[in-house]
Structure 1
Amino acid sequence: MAWGMHEPSRFGEFFPDGDYVGREEALREYYNQMSEEEKKLRGMVKRFSLTGFSKKYTRDFGPMTDAECPNEFLTVKSYRSLGSLLNTSNRLLAVDQGFKDILEELEPGVHQFWPIEIRMPRNKTYPSTYYGLRIGQFLDAFNPDHSKDECYNISGYENYRGVAPIKKAITGLAVSKDAVVNAHLWREKKLTQPDIFLSNELQQRAREAGLRLPKHFQMKEV
């Protein structure tokens, strides 16, 4: 059983308003050291682009370098409570210690983590430990033939996009059971919105541990 999740798009406990301290400066310095081949892959041959770097957060471009892993997130306002999986600026994900521990137990060495400190106004630091997360698994599991036509659009050659309303769309989409049988957290190669996919075991383990995740809904497996 698979679950689909849209990355949160409204500021709140799963999408804190803020940005990474020193990220752009570090990336500009790294850009000057990149090969022309890497710049071409990111679409940055002519000029530096934050969007070009952000593609690595959501696409199968390989592990991130130290320069691409920001470690200090400064929020615009103070938060009393944040979720266990966060969307932050430029679609970079962050997870708390509990979610990281479960994921590393289920899929050791598959995903990339690094420490992130969440700082708030008045020099306050959010008390829980968080880690940046780059999902390291990209699958071609979406099955349009067994999905409801009204739940997705074709956004390019063999590329698909779920449509609103979110719950109706996700529950009407299907993935291949054989393709996801050993996967616990992944992104799809040809389907966006939902953006993040979880196995039933990961979802249950997170729920049993009392972790709070953004809204997610069951998909069909065929």
Structure 2
Amino acid sequence: MDNHIPPLSTTRGDTSDKFHRELGVRRPHRPPLDPVLPHEWPAEYVYQKAYKRDAAMVMYTNRMYAVTGPLREIIERLEPGVHQFNPIRVLLPKGVEHPVPHYMMVVGRWLSSFRLEESDPDCLRDKRPDFSTLSSFDKKCCAGAAMAQAVIGDAHLWRERHLSGPTFFISDRLKEEIIAAGLRLPPNHEMKSV
């Protein structure tokens, strides 16, 4: 008699989760997420409209992000091998390929730097020690969310385990390098450093 129990099958939701949840961590009633497999990376994205000035980081569907080649180079120089990148073909509305190479990105660093007890309670919708949520993503609420600099250390790009709000966080140095390279980021705000 074979007592081997096969693992739960991978679902489409699991594949999507790999792009915005921590890999390798046990989840309730589900196995840990493995790294993104070669066939799971999106191959193509089509812009619905053209923009006068493209951002160096773009959110696609399901909280998936792509970065331009120049931004990928900056991130890899500051944190080599920490994050996953895979080329994606980006098309403009009339089917013309985007002139700048793009890469899908999986942020590989997760931190627990959020400090609920030192944050402005008016800036939080959910106030739980294990998982809090910003009430908005405006400048005031971001400035009210306390982040422990000692935990962040020399990280330049990361996601937070206990704060739902900004999808990812960047260091001052990474932001300075992005600006110095003439690249454009989506709207972003400074957090409270403690």
> Shift in Å at residue 156 of structure 1?
5.8
The structure with higher relative contact order (CA 8 Å, sep 6+) is 1
Equivalent residue, structure 2, for 1:176? 148
Q: Secondary structure at the match of 1:73?
A: strand
Judged with a 3 Å threshold, the aligned counterparts in structure 2 of structure 1 residues 154 and 111 are, in CA distance, closer, same or farther, namely same
Map 1:57-136; keep pairs closer than 5 Å: 57-61=19-23, 62-136=34-108
CA deviations 1:155-191 (Å, max 9, x no partner) are: 7661111112522111111111111012100000111
Larger % of helix: which? Answer: 1
Instruction: Specify every segment of 5 or more residues in structure 2 that has no aligned partner in the other structure, as ranges.
Output: 24-33
Distance 1:77 1:140 in 2: 37
CA distance in 2, matches of 1:96, 1:169: 29
Alpha-carbon deviation of 1:53? Answer: 2.0
- Match for 2:19: what amino acid? Y
SS class of match (1:217): coil
Compare 102-111 and 188-197 and name the one that shifted more. 188-197
Instruction: Flag the 1:97–1:37 CA change in 2: closer, same or farther, 3 A.
Output: same
The gaps in structure 1 that reach 5 residues or longer are: 1-34
Identity %: 32
The one-letter amino acid of 2:65's match is L
| Pair 129,165 (structure 1): closer, same or farther in 2 beyond 3 Å | closer
CA RMSD of aligned residues (A): 1.9
User: What is the rounded CA distance, in whole Å, between the counterparts of 2:50 and 2:175 in structure 1?
Assistant: 28
The answer to whether the aligner puts 1:162 opposite 2:124 as a matched pair is no
The offset of 1:118, in angstroms, is 0.5
Displaced runs of 4 or more, over 4 A: none
Give me the whole-angstrom Cα distance separating, in 2, the residues matched to 1:89 and 1:80: 21
Secondary structure of the residue aligned to 2:55 is coil
In the superposition, the TM-score normalised over structure 1's length comes to 0.75
Matched, 1:37 2:10: no
